[in-house]
Amino acid sequence: MSTESTAKQLSIPGVDFHTDEPLVHGNLSFHDITELVSYHTEKKTPMGWYAAFSGASLLLLILLVMIAYLFWNGIGVWGLNNPVGWGYAIVNFVFWVGIGHAGTLISAILFLFRQKWRTAINRSAEAMTIFAVICALLFPTIHVGRVWVIFWTLPYPNQMEMWPQFKSPLIWDFFAISVYFMVSLMFWYVGLIPDLATLRDRTTRKLRQKVLGALALGWTGANRHWRNYEKAYLILAALATPLVLSVHSVVSFDFAVSIVPGWHTTIFPPYFVAGAIFSGFAMVVTLMVVARKVFGIEDIITVNHLEKMNIIILLTGSMVGFAYITEFFIAWYSGVHYEQYAFINRAFGPYAWAYWTMLSCNLLFPQFFWIKKLRRSIPFMFVIVILVNVGMWFERFVIVVISLHRDYLPSAWDYYSPTLVDILTLVGSFGLFFTMYLLFLRFLPMVAVAEVKGVLPEAHPHFYKHSGDGQEADHTVGVTPKRDA
């Protein structure tokens, strides 16, 4: 009996009737899910992981060396100059914050909207969010000229009786991102508790029991626990939802509040949020396409999941593209010469290559996802999402650098080119990200086991009643997880 007909015949929840496909393929039982996911944290560490981890840590080492070099010598090791006071560091910052959007969006907003397909990807997307926000937080920290007094941006009582200047968007930034980080971290951790308890219960090693036991906060799976847990999760989701929208709006204020032509734009908050979701989903797809293959969890993260994310990429990509066009229209419509020049300079000035890279990657290429076949093709979507990642990095480059390099007085115009240190710092930030991500994959369940179980046919209260005698139905559930992954 095919899974499809089973689903129809049983008409049980957990099946998305829009696609008429079950969310989890392969006819997996509760136990199979547990096995399939837990196995990867319990098996002997495969050589492939070591290879990937050493690659990532090498990049991380490069990042650390670059930061040490920067701290030792000063901001001059970057390519910045007089008109262009912000370069790669801020571009990378916005880029990583943007990526850090998808996780909480998937967890919180899709949770509130009862999008059950989120369960397969929310854990790793949230992990990605946290790691991306850590990468993002790094950049504004290291980009200040005197990093040793950066704590002056914190509001703390001090003998100087000096407070940060609350009018500055950089201060808003600090609050927005740190709150977002903390809520995301809490949300992620709360979601992890039942799974940590599962791992704890499975292990026989003492240390592992102790650590997981401590982290699982005494979870027993009791009804009371579940009730409190569900409440807490809902509340956190409700708290996180506005943050998803606010954090990138606030990041966009860094630019929108200034008077630099090309920055001073009221469209920025929604445009940045759409862009962030766009880039965040692209990153999730990038990671999932690889992870599901490597870890053999194609049945949990199915092509259907990827397709749904691709649809969101298509939607947000078009929104971003619409924003690009709107910016141009407003520049013309405003009649403000500086604005007009800023946008003409984007498209036809010395950085036109960056602009057209951005436009084709973000607006043009995702349009292929209108075609169902393409948006379900794993290799094709992989190429597209990589291009979207590139395009979104360039979007920030376009906004930050092109606007600054030619503003009001032509006498001050200049050109910005990154140094090797700039480039290696960007590359190194991926090292930081992947190091953390690989550690996550190795030690924590990459899929929210408890949540996925909730969307299985098995979770339906009437699942067992069909045979009439309280016994399991005549269809068999269960496969042996692949052990070679």
The residue from 66, 80, 300, 354 that contacts other proteins (CB under 8 A) is 80
Q: Taking CB under 8 A as the rule, does residue 351 contact other proteins? A: no
Letter for the amino acid at 191? G
Q: Taking CB under 8 A as the rule, does residue 342 contact other proteins? A: no
If we measure between CA atoms, which residue out of 64, 255, 101 comes closest to residue 177?
101
Q: Taking CB under 8 A as the rule, does residue 143 contact other proteins? A: yes
Letter for the amino acid at 146? R
Binding mask 417-436 for other proteins (x = CB under 8 A): x-------------------
Q: Tell me, what DSSP letter sits at residue 26?
A: S
Query: Is the sign of the CA dihedral 319, 320, 325, 326 positive or negative?
Result: positive
Letter for the amino acid at 211? V
Q: Taking CB under 8 A as the rule, does residue 235 contact other proteins? A: no
Binding mask 355-394 for other proteins (x = CB under 8 A): ----------------------------------------
CB of 357 to other proteins, least distance (A): 17
If we measure between CA atoms, which residue out of 81, 165, 13 comes closest to residue 404?
81
Q: Taking CB under 8 A as the rule, does residue 221 contact other proteins? A: no
Letter for the amino acid at 157? P
27 Rama sector, left if φ>0, alpha if ψ -120 to 50, beta otherwise: left
CB of 417 to other proteins, least distance (A): 5
Q: How far apart are CA 365 and CA 363, in angstroms?
A: 6
Q: Taking CB under 8 A as the rule, does residue 412 contact other proteins? A: yes
Please, which residue, 171 or 439, has the CB nearer to other proteins?
A: 171
Q: Tell me, what DSSP letter sits at residue 416?
A: -
Q: Taking CB under 8 A as the rule, does residue 206 contact other proteins? A: no
Please, which residue, 145 or 461, has the CB nearer to other proteins?
A: 145
Please, which residue, 145 or 379, has the CB nearer to other proteins?
A: 145
CB of 411 to other proteins, least distance (A): 4
Letter for the amino acid at 233? Y
Q: Taking CB under 8 A as the rule, does residue 396 contact other proteins? A: no
Q: Taking CB under 8 A as the rule, does residue 232 contact other proteins? A: no
The residue from 14, 83, 317, 321 that contacts other proteins (CB under 8 A) is 83
Cβ pair 423, 118 in contact under 8 A: no
Q: How far apart are CA 245 and CA 171, in angstroms?
A: 18
Please, which residue, 168 or 367, has the CB nearer to other proteins?
A: 168
Instruction: Report 150-189 residues binding other proteins (CB under 8 A).
Output: 150, 152-153, 162-165, 167-171, 174
CB of 362 to other proteins, least distance (A): 24
If we measure between CA atoms, which residue out of 400, 395, 415 comes closest to residue 79?
415
What is the end-to-end Cα distance of the chain in Å, rounded?
28
CB of 342 to other proteins, least distance (A): 11
Please, which residue, 18 or 146, has the CB nearer to other proteins?
A: 146
Q: Taking CB under 8 A as the rule, does residue 238 contact other proteins? A: no
Q: Taking CB under 8 A as the rule, does residue 93 contact other proteins? A: no
Please, which residue, 74 or 478, has the CB nearer to other proteins?
A: 74
Please, which residue, 53 or 174, has the CB nearer to other proteins?
A: 174
DSSP assignment of 141-206:
HHTSS-GGGGGGGS----TT-----TTSHHHHHHHHHHHHHHHHHHHHHHHHHHHHHHHHHH---H
Please, which residue, 84 or 301, has the CB nearer to other proteins?
A: 84
Radius of gyration in angstroms for the set of CA atoms belonging to the chain, rounded to a whole number: 24
Q: How many residues bind other proteins (CB under 8 A)?
A: 55
Instruction: Report 101-140 residues binding other proteins (CB under 8 A).
Output: none
Annotate 119-138 with b (16+ C-beta within 10 A) or e (fewer): bbbbbbbbbbbbbbbbbbbb
Q: Taking CB under 8 A as the rule, does residue 413 contact other proteins? A: yes
Q: At what angle do helices 122-142 and 47-73 cross, to 10 degrees?
A: 20
Residues that bind other proteins (CB under 8 A): 68-69, 72-77, 79-86, 143-147, 149-150, 152-153, 162-165, 167-171, 174, 254, 257-260, 337-338, 341, 404, 407-417
